[in-house]
C-alpha cells in the first residue's frame, strides 16, 4: 500500500482522515504500535501535528480510529468466510484460517496489545463490537454449538499468534502454523464433534 502524500494540497476532511489512517496502518505493520503517533503519521502524509489533532483529537483518538478501521477489515474477512461456510463454499477450517490471517495481516494483535498496555481500553471497543457481531451472526445462522466459547478461544489464539506467534513457535521448535491445528482441536473439543473438511 502506498502512502498518499498530501502536502499543502487542499483535500476534504474524509481524504485527510483516510490518508492518515493509511499511514497509521503502514506504520503499525512496519514499525509497530509505538510508532503510530500523531507526529509520525503527520510526517508520512505531509501534514502537521495540529492538522491530525483536528481530525482525531489525540493520539488515543488516532489509535481508536485505527482500531475501528482494522476491526472493519478483520470483520469483513471473517464474516465473508462464515457466509461462505454457511453456503457450503468453505469449511470451518477456512473460517479459522480467515481469522488468523486477518489478525496477522492487519497487525491487530500488536495494536490490541499496545492499547491494553497503555490502559486506553475504550479504544478496544471497535474490536469488542466486531467479536460480538461475529458471535451473533453465527447464532443467527442457527449454529447451536457453543459459538461464544469457540469464538473466545479462537480470537485469543489469533491475537496471540499475530502478536508473538512466530517467536513462541520457534521456542517450542514447532512450525508457526501449528497453532491453527491447536485451534481446530480446541474448537472440536468445545463443539463435541470433528470439524468438516
| Domain boundaries 1-57, corresponding CATH code | 1.10.10.60
What percentage of the chain carries pLDDT values higher than 90? 26
Q: Three cell numbers at 96?
A: 479459522
Query: What is the domain partition of the chain in residue ranges?
Result: 1-57, 59-191
| Domain boundaries 59-191, corresponding CATH code | 1.10.357
User: What's the pTM?
Assistant: 0.77
> What is the Cα 158 distance to its own chain's centre?
9
Rounded to whole angstroms, the Cα distance separating 4 from 26 reads 11
Rounded to whole angstroms, the Cα distance separating 191 from 149 reads 9
Q: Three cell numbers at 28?
A: 503499525
Q: Would you state the pLDDT for residue 34?
A: 83
Residues 6+ apart with CB under 8 A from 179: 100, 157, 160, 161, 165, 169
Q: Would you state the pLDDT for residue 117?
A: 83
150 pLDDT more than 50: yes
pLDDT per residue over 93-132, tens digit each? 888 999 899 888 888 888 888 888 888 778 788 788 888 9
Q: Would you state the pLDDT for residue 183?
A: 93
Question: At 4, is the pLDDT very low, low, confident or very high (cuts 50, 70, 90)?
Answer: low
148 pLDDT more than 60: yes
CB 41 within 8 A of CB 25: no
CB 106 within 8 A of CB 73: yes
Rounded to whole angstroms, the Cα distance separating 181 from 78 reads 18
pLDDT per residue over 34-87, tens digit each? 888 899 999 999 888 888 888 888 888 888 888 888 888 888 888 888 888 888
CB 151 within 8 A of CB 137: no
> What is the Cα 25 distance to its own chain's centre?
11
Amino acid at each position: 500500500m502506498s502512502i498518499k502524500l498530501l502536502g499543502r494540497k487542499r483535500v476534504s476532511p474524509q481524504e485527510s482522515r483516510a490518508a492518515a489512517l493509511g499511514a497509521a496502518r503502514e506504520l503499525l505493520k512496519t514499525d509497530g504500535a509505538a510508532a503510530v503517533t500523531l507526529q509520525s503519521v503527520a510526517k508520512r502524509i505531509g501534514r502537521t501535528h495540529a492538522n491530525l489533532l483536528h481530525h482525531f483529537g489525540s493520539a488515543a483518538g488516532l489509535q481508536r480510529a485505527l482500531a475501528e478501521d482494522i476491526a472493519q477489515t478483520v470483520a469483513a474477512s471473517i464474516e465473508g468466510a462464515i457466509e461462505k461456510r454457511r453456503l457450503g463454499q468453505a469449511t470451518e477450517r477456512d473460517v479459522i484460517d480467515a481469522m488468523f490471517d486477518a489478525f496477522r495481516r492487519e497487525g491487530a494483535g500488536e495494536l490490541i496489545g499496545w492499547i491494553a498496555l497503555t490502559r486506553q481500553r475504550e479504544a478496544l471497543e471497535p474490536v469488542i463490537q466486531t467479536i460480538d457481531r461475529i458471535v451473533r451472526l453465527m447464532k443467527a445462522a442457527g449454529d447451536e454449538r457453543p459459538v461464544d466459547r469457540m469464538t473466545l478461544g479462537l480470537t485469543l489464539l489469533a491475537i496471540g499468534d499475530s502478536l508473538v506467534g512466530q517467536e513462541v513457535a520457534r521456542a517450542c521448535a514447532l512450525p508457526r502454523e501449528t497453532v491453527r491445528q491447536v485451534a481446530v482441536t480446541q474448537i472440536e473439543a468445545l463443539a463435541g464433534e470433528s470439524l468438516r473438511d
